[in-house]
Structure 1
Amino acid sequence: MPLYLIGLGLTPDSISLKAINIIKNCSKVFLDAYTSILVSYEEMTKLMTEVLNRNDLIQADRTLVERDAGQILIPAKDSDVAFLVVGDALCATTHSDLYLRAVQEGIQVKVLHNASIINAVAGTGLEIYKFGRTISVPFFEEKWKPVSFITKTIENFQMGMHSLLLMDIKTKELDWKLYMRGIERYQNPRYMSCAVCCQQFVDVLNTDNDADLSVETKQDFEEIRIHATKAGFSVDSKCVACMRVGTDDQKFIYCSIGEMAKLTEHMGAPLHSLVVLGNIVSDMEQEMLNLWKL
């Protein structure tokens, strides 16, 4: 029997009629509850109750999907099972991994695609075919400050390509300090804002806070600065904040990276994504960007 990987789109009411008809006949329905939050468990439960007359939606956290996938795959050997994903069904590596594991178990997989931030970012007015590789941005931690997201952004910038940066999401993350003491407790959820993302750019590209860094981190930052200088990339380079794209209160803000880092009060609720512009912007793109100017 099939495992259906179903993209929900960007809001609960973006679900397709085909998906609704499939879900009606599934023995189990799971909702991916950790790669995105634009469609909440509560919203999908309400939709299933009102539209499908069922209240058995299963919330699938990271542990279930990555470590206990048997809870999804075993029922799919004997009956139809749906796995619901915010956005498109296969935009996250985790979902491709689930697809592969199902195939290895001899389970038929059917995919229903839908809109995601990958194509909805065209709402900024930037030409979608001028985007380079999509980039994930992790939170900086006290002793871990990876800078590869800036390296990749600069590489896109040099080629005249825009960069779509996907913000870090921390849900159901163990508090490791407590865990080492034998206490299993989870941290509060954290969702990176565009302001925080841009502040990380500023922290790396400027030298103001270097005194508190380890020798290794200083070296990493200095290499990035040399690369950025050669490319003409700086905190004055332009970007677009994309907040809650696809919802009724979506918002875009266009300004420099340095200016964006200061807009901590203007971002609103998650989810956020950031577009850093390439070094070539067409006249049409610029006209559209001016609509979102700070």
Structure 2
Amino acid sequence: MRSFFLTALLGLFVHAALAQTPRTDVLHKLDRSTLNVKVDEVTETDVVYFEATAPTVRKMLPKNGLWKLVFADGSTEVFNQPTELPAAPPLESVAQRKDSTFRKPPTSPGYRINLTVGTEVSYFPAGLNKDWVDDSLGYGMDQNLGFSVRFDYRFIRPLAASLTVGYSQWELLRRYTQNGSDQYQETVTMRRIPLQAGLKIYVANHFFLLPSGGINLLTIKRKASETHPNPTAENTSSTPITYGASLGYEFHAGRFLVDLSGQYQLLNIRQTTSAPGSATQQKVQFAGLRLGLGFSTKK
């Protein structure tokens, strides 16, 4: 009899202990993982809950990341359908999977290479280039049209080494008249081949800054008519230094590339003969606009 009472008493203690063990709510995520919580509130977009490890801290999960909520009383509220798990791959021996499992990850595809051919329009402000734009003593050049080829090699993500080679030509015809009739004339032809190297700095998205410097292969040819007081043809050449900067934007469409930039350059003219008895020696400043078309690729 005494044993019966002890057994009954033990059963009452176990039942009381189980009755005091609180059941929790269970959140089922779309990836089929679960989270035992105490739900405080279910809003239109979120589920607010407490965790056992932080019973005073309100947390929330968006409904769009949950499959369902199973309450402690057994009721269920479904929010979304669970994510389908991919089928497990077939079992293979280690020898069969050696090449694929232990293969080294692929290396980086390389750095981007740009190559563009562009048209350049230059403008020489008269206020900054008095001798240069003068028709009588200078070259009468206040604007010019040329082209260039630019090669860029991006060695790290925000920086690229840049090399530009260009070509432009300008011709000035001077006519000397007296009493309304031509007495003689002369033609001045100038060819300029700039060779510049720079560092292209990508400052934001596809915008870049390109400081550059180099030399110009400058050739000037003066030819006069036979009636000119000094009919001798003159050819001069020089390699003035040039430096400046460009601000531009690159647009990529697959491998096709559009490079649009504005530039400001300073050409350090030492001494060139533009007319008999005159010499141009000044720092020529000009602004330009370049539109380049080409392609980009990866090494």
**Do they superpose with TM above 0.5?**
no
TM-score by length of 1: 0.22
TM-score by length of 2: 0.22
Q: Which has the higher helix share?
A: 1
User: With CA pairs under 8 Å and 6+ residues apart, which has the higher RCO, 1 or 2?
Assistant: 1
